[in-house]
Every structure is written in C-alpha cells, then in structure tokens.
C-alpha cells in the first residue's frame, strides 16, 4: 500500500481545537518524519452562531458537519474532533478510525475560590450544556443557571468580568491548554455525570482510505475506544443529539466495563440514572441495554417532551 507524502487535517479554528489537532499532527510526524502534515481550519455552524444557546439552534453535528463535508469531498484526509461534539450517527463513508487515550473526563468548576457546595444562594452559574444545567439544578435548585457560549478564553473573561459567580467547563480542555490552576473544583461524576465521549478525541476519516487508516492505527488507545463505543451505543439507542440532557460515562477495569447513564428533564426535576457492568467485549450491547433500561424507567417520556418542546 502506497504511503501518502502529505496529508491534511481538518479542524475547527478555536485555540483548543487547534491545540488538539496540533497534538495529533505531532504524533503523526513522529511516526513518519518525512510526511508533510498541515492543518486546515474550517468554520462550523456552531462556530458561526455564538449568541444563541446551542439547544435552541437545533440539529446535530453543529461542530462537525462542515468538517465532514471536507472529508467527503477530499479537501482533508482526516479530522480531529472532541468526541462529545460528534453525533451518534456518522455520514455514510466515514468512520472514527482512532480514539486516542482519554484526558480527564470530569466537569470542572471555575470560580473565585468558592466550591460548588459553598456558592451563596441565588449565585449565577454559567454553562452552555443542558446536561450540566439539569444536574446542577437537581442538587442546587437555588442557583441561577445562565447560558454561556464562546471559546474557552471568552468564557473565562466573562467570569472575570463578574457576569457569573462560577462557570462549568470540561476539565479536559483546561488541562490540555495548561490552565489547571484555574480549576476551583473537579466535579465528581456522582455530582455531574460527563457527556458522551467527554475528554476523548476522535480521528475521523474515509472508510475506504486504506493508507490513512493504516497510518492512524498506532494512535488508537483500545481501553478508551471500548469505553467510548459503549457510551455512543447508549446515545444511539436513545436517539439523542449532543444538546439534550443525556450523560454517559464508561470505565474499564480488568476487562470489565462499567457504564453509567443519565437522562434528565431540562428543569432537573426528573432524572433517570442507572449503571450496568459487563465484559469489555460486550461494550456496545451494554450501552444498548442500559439505554433500554432507562427508557423503561421514564427516560423515553422525558426525551419525547424535550423534542416536542413541551
């Protein structure tokens, strides 16, 4: 099989996305020092709409659609995504070839030194995620949750400007950009169950592109890949998009996978949460079984209400 001499990586243009794509670029270059690797910045729908909560924009793949179009028409050879942005169903002809080792999957609270449980009543907390909003409201109905959009730096500036008492972000992005000193508290999954694939990257490419698939294969982290497969199977069975209150997090120990899943109403007054364990070889079926368990316990009614806007 002929090895390519140059390849292009499609990526969003935010500082975090460029850091993540740059990290993969460096790993590929270490594998093949004679290969020319370039980054191609692509503006997505999610990047263009910054003044509206994502849940109101609608649709799936707000941060990946345009990049996938570039993959399909050959403008780029692979794409680097944050897995939590990737829809449950991919376009025909594309697949997630590789999932590298996961960063910290937890949510992180950033404040002026005050932990979540110590925030004064009525404090304004910023987050763009319905998943986070629902779980925070369940624990602290006294808090005022406000939408927060923009790049990581923009969100941190809004906190510093006094618009919020605290904001919630994915710990992985802060850690990748060397901003761990900004984290006031890591939120345990018991407090805020992470999004599907949170903390993991996905390398997407064309299924029939043998040289690219072969090139990327050494970057895969099997344990992370199994966990994300279970989480995404859970999401797929729920027919959930990226902007509904669905959470799922899998852990692997001694070839046994434990998956926790959650579906919540936007208000946080109803939460259906359960966990299952099984052999790692059954990761995807475990995700499906957990979704079906939640659906029978009321998750289907919650999701139907959200999709119908009632």
Per domain, the residue ranges of the chain are: 1-100+200-220, 107-187, 221-310
pLDDT-above-90 percentage for the chain: 82
Considering 51, 77, 85, 208, which one is annotated as catalytic? 85
Side-chain half-sphere exposure of 293, counting CA atoms within 13 A:
16
Give the helix ranges, DSSP H, for the chain: 15-31, 45-48, 54-57, 65-72, 130-139, 152-160, 171-176, 210-216, 222-238, 283-294, 300-308
> Of 222-231, 242-251, 283-292, where does mean pLDDT reach its minimum?
242-251
Give the helix ranges, DSSP H, for 112-162: 130-139, 152-160
Could you tell me which of 35, 27, 39 has the C-alpha nearest to residue 4?
35
pTM given for the model: 0.92
CATH number of 221-310: 3.30.160.40
Q: Which CATH architecture has domain 107-187?
A: 3-Layer(aba) Sandwich (3.40)
1-100+200-220 topology per CATH: D-Maltodextrin-Binding Protein; domain 2 (3.40.190)
- Please say if the pLDDT value at position 1 is more than 80: no
For 39-81, write each residue's pLDDT tens digit: 999 998 777 665 555 555 555 578 899 999 999 999 999 999 9
* Residue 255 falls in the annotated catalytic set: no
- 125, 144 in Cβ contact below 8 A? yes
Could you tell me which of 153, 307, 296, 286 has the C-alpha nearest to residue 229?
286
Please check whether the two domains, 1-100+200-220 and 107-187, share a CATH topology: yes
């Amino acid at each position: 099989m002929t090895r390519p001499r140059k390849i292009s990586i499609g990526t969003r243009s935010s500082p975090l996305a460029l850091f993540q794509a740059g990290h993969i670029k460096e790993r590929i270059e270490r594998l093949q020092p004679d290969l020319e690797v370039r980054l191609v910045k692509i503006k997505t729908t999610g990047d263009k709409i910054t003044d509206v909560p994502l849940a109101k924009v609608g649709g799936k793949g707000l941060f990946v659609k345009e990049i996938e179009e570039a993959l399909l028409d050959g403008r780029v050879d692979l794409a680097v995504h944050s897995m939590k942005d990737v829809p449950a169903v991919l376009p025909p002809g594309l697949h997630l070839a590789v999932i590298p080792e996961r960063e910290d999957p937890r949510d992180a609270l950033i404040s002026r030194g005050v932990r979540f449980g110590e925030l004064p009543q009525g404090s304004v907390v910023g987050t763009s995620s319905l998943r986070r909003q629902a779980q925070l409201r369940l624990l602290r109905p006294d808090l005022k949750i406000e939408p927060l959009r923009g790049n990581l730096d923009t969100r941190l500036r809004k906190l510093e400007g006094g618009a919020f008492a605290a904001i919630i972000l994915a710990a992985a992005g802060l850690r990748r950009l060397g901003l761990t000193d900004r984290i006031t508290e890591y939120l345990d999954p018991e407090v805020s169950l992470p999004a599907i694939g949170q903390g993991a990257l996905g390398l997407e490419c064309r299924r029939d592109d043998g040289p690219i698939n072969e090139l990327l294969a050494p970057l895969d982290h099997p344990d992370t890949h199994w966990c994300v497969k279970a989480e995404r199977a859970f999401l797929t069975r729920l027919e959930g998009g990226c902007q509904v209150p669905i959470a799922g997090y899998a852990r692997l120990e001694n070839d046994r996978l434990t998956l926790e899943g959650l579906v919540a109403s936007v208000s946080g007054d109803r939460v259906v949460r359960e966990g299952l364990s099984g052999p790692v070889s059954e990761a995807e079926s475990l995700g499906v079984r957990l979704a079906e368990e939640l659906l029978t316990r009321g998750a289907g009614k919650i999701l139907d209400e959200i999709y119908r806007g009632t």
